[in-house]
Amino acid sequence: MRRLAVFTLLFLAVAMPGLAGFMGEVPRITVEELKSRLDRGAKIVILDVRSRSSYGSSDVMIKGSVRIPPDELNDRAGELPPGREVVTYCT
């Protein structure tokens, strides 16, 4: 079963290289749990953080997701809506 990382914008730094150990483990959510929460109207941002090569070679795209490659996350984090839970997707 595939699991996705879940974190709020407050903990966005966890996804940045080198900080995971400082902040602790990122909580996980299954695809089924995410779908259930979205079906119930949860205001969740799906953040696709796949590298350019992974994204470019894949035919899997999540409708409505925000795509920010990992190397641009620091500079583009402000593009994410504040105060919303963020679920990251990568391969």
Q: What is the distance in angstroms between the CA of the first residue and the CA of the last residue of the chain?
A: 13
Six token digits for residue 55: 């994204």
Helix (H, G, I), strand (E, B) or coil at 16: coil
Q: pLDDT digits over 40-67, tens only?
A: 999 999 998 888 888 888 888 888 899 9
Give the pTM: 0.68
Buried-state track 11-41, b at ≥16 Cβ within 10 A, e below 16? ebbbbeeeeeeeeeeeeebeeeebeebeeee
CATH code for the structural domain at 3-89:
3.40.250
**Per-residue pLDDT tens over the stretch 68-91:** 988 888 889 888 888 888 888 887
Task: Compute the Cα dihedral for 7, 40, 4, 82 and give only its sign.
Answer: negative
**Domain boundary assignment for the chain:** 3-89
